[in-house]
Amino acid sequence: MHISYNISLKKYNSFGIDVKAAQLVEVFTEKELLQVLEEHRQDNMPLLIMGGFSNVLFVNDFKGSIIRISIKGISVTEEDDEMVTVRAAAGEDWDEFVGSCVEKGWGGLENLSLIPGKVGTCPVQNIGAYGVEVKDSITKVEAVHIRSLEKRDFTNEECRFGYRDSIFKQELKGQYLLTAVFFRLSKKHVLKQSYGNIREELERMEVTNPSIGDVREAVIRIRKRKLPDPAVSGNAGSFFKNPVISAEQFQKLSAEFPCMVSYPQQDRVKLAAAWLIEQCGWKGYREGDAGVHPDQPLVLVNYGNACGKDILILAGKVQASVLEKFGVRLEMEVNVIG
């Protein structure tokens, strides 16, 4: 393991916020992880578990210990002519893992390409993009209870997945650390091309009979055009969730705003948060070094020296204006620390 003290987190978090942690411990094996957790039970310092630091906003220094999970390993646990089950350790880079699966001809994750972060954090957030959620491929997760160190497997049903949600963000928040995720992937592919601009991008690529590799490439191209590179402008991708409202509320809103972007979901309707934010005039807005991205208003940006509080204040203003104009509450997708 590697331990650092009083360390700046600016180069670690994708927002580029210059805060410090009292201690940063990077673990590379499950044995090291259990050792650190055992020590934590004795020192009782505040504890934060991180993977890729890609979906967090620090607003203050962290006066405790951060465990960075860098446990690696990918293996096949079951396989037949049609499906394969793959176990991926929590510290694997998510996009590299997706790319590896696509290269092997294992389908199901290609629409989730280029999402930043680690494998171990994807079930917590139930990451999703372009009509696909990671829950659709997960069979189970391996976890360790942070206090008791008891190991436990959670089935897909026990994870209680929801829209950008899981049991690990609700009643079990802060109680378990995920160490590995199992995915059931297909060798006979059913491509999902209807969401977003995937079909148009495939046409632009002059692809008429697309493969999962073509879909991955199309998603990567779209995301690179729409989303800023954190190495250039600090950000955490989508800052807000797309709100889901009742059909009755949508009917009233659509009568007043007939061009409202929406996605029907059984008896409810999901709205495009980016559209709502743009209609309120925030697209391209900037306060000092905190801003709303000029091409994708769902993304809040640190243009250089913004602090976490600057980003959080801007987010609050965006939420207030959307609530005032549409009566819709935007929920932050990013985890605020501090």
Specify the pLDDT at position 265: 84
Specify the pLDDT at position 257: 96
Pick the more confident residue, 240 or 265.
240
* Closest alpha carbon to 172 in 161, 183, 185: 161
Task: Give the global pTM.
Answer: 0.85
Specify the pLDDT at position 230: 85
% of residues, the chain, pLDDT over 70: 100
Across the range 227-240, mean pLDDT stands at 88
Q: Is 208 found in the same domain as 81?
A: yes
Specify the pLDDT at position 263: 87
| 35 belongs to a structural domain | yes
| 18 belongs to a structural domain | yes
Across the range 301-305, mean pLDDT stands at 94
Express each pLDDT in 244-299 by its tens digit. 999 999 999 999 999 999 988 888 999 999 999 999 999 999 999 999 999 899 99
Q: Is the pLDDT of residue 52 over 80?
A: no
Q: Is the pLDDT of residue 30 over 90?
A: yes
Specify the pLDDT at position 253: 96
User: What is the DSSP code string of 23-45?
Assistant: EEEEE-SHHHHHHHHHHHHHH--
Specify the pLDDT at position 185: 98
| 176 belongs to a structural domain | yes
Q: Where are the beta strands (DSSP E) in 29-134?
A: 47-50, 56-58, 62-69, 74-79, 83-89, 128-129, 132-133
Instruction: Tell me how far CA of residue 202 lies from CA of 106, 182, 193, 208, 222, in angstroms.
Output: 20, 30, 9, 8, 10
Structure tokens at 326: 């549409």
Average pLDDT value for the chain? 93
Q: Is 150 found in the same domain as 61?
A: no
Which run of H or of E encompasses 52? none
Q: Give the CATH number for residue 324.
A: 3.90.78.10
* Number of folded domains that form the chain: 3
Q: What share of the chain is helix, strand, coil (3-state, %, to 5)?
A: 30, 30, 40
Q: Is 219 found in the same domain as 84?
A: yes
Residue 164 bears catalytic tag: yes
Given the residues 137, 166, 233, 238, select the one marked as catalytic.
238
Given the residues 110, 133, 201, 333, select the one marked as catalytic.
333
| Cα–Cα distance measured from residue 152 to residue 143, given in angstroms and rounded to the nearest whole number | 5
Specify the pLDDT at position 101: 98
Alpha helices in the chain (DSSP H): 30-43, 94-103, 122-125, 198-204, 212-226, 247-256, 273-279, 308-326
At residue 132, φ and ψ (nearest 5 deg) are: -130, 140
| 92 belongs to a structural domain | yes
Q: Give the CATH number for residue 62.
A: 3.30.43.10
Per-residue confidence at 164, pLDDT binned at 50, 70, 90?
A: confident
Residue where a domain terminates, one of 51, 69, 87? 69
Structure tokens at 243: 């709100």
Pick the more confident residue, 263 or 159.
159
Residue where a domain terminates, one of 38, 69, 100? 69
Given the residues 160, 164, 199, 268, select the one marked as catalytic.
164
The answer to whether 45 and 23 have CB atoms below 8 angstroms apart is yes
The answer to whether 239 and 315 have CB atoms below 8 angstroms apart is yes
Provide CB contacts within 8 A for 199, sequence distance 6+.
193
Across the range 171-200, mean pLDDT stands at 92
Q: Give the CATH number for residue 93.
A: 3.30.465.10
The answer to whether 108 and 97 have CB atoms below 8 angstroms apart is no
| Cα–Cα distance measured from residue 164 to residue 111, given in angstroms and rounded to the nearest whole number | 16
Q: Is 153 found in the same domain as 98?
A: yes
- Single-letter residue type at 98: V
Q: Is 62 found in the same domain as 80?
A: no
* Closest alpha carbon to 177 in 120, 106, 243, 111: 120
| 239 belongs to a structural domain | no
Residue where a domain terminates, one of 226, 259, 292? 226
| 20 belongs to a structural domain | yes
| Cα–Cα distance measured from residue 290 to residue 309, given in angstroms and rounded to the nearest whole number | 10
Q: Is the pLDDT of residue 124 over 90?
A: yes
Q: Is 217 found in the same domain as 94?
A: yes
| 237 belongs to a structural domain | no
Q: Is the pLDDT of residue 51 over 80?
A: no
| Cα–Cα distance measured from residue 280 to residue 257, given in angstroms and rounded to the nearest whole number | 13
Q: Is 144 found in the same domain as 117?
A: yes
Specify the pLDDT at position 226: 84
Containing structural domain, residue 248: 244-337
Specify the pLDDT at position 41: 82
Q: Is the pLDDT of residue 105 over 90?
A: yes
Residue 79 bears catalytic tag: no
Q: Is 106 found in the same domain as 169?
A: yes
Residue 238 bears catalytic tag: yes
Determine which of 119-123, 200-204, 212-216, 265-269 has the lowest per-residue pLDDT on average.
265-269
CB-hemisphere CA count at 13 Å for 282? 27
Specify the pLDDT at position 228: 85
Structure tokens at 264: 């029907």
Specify the pLDDT at position 227: 84
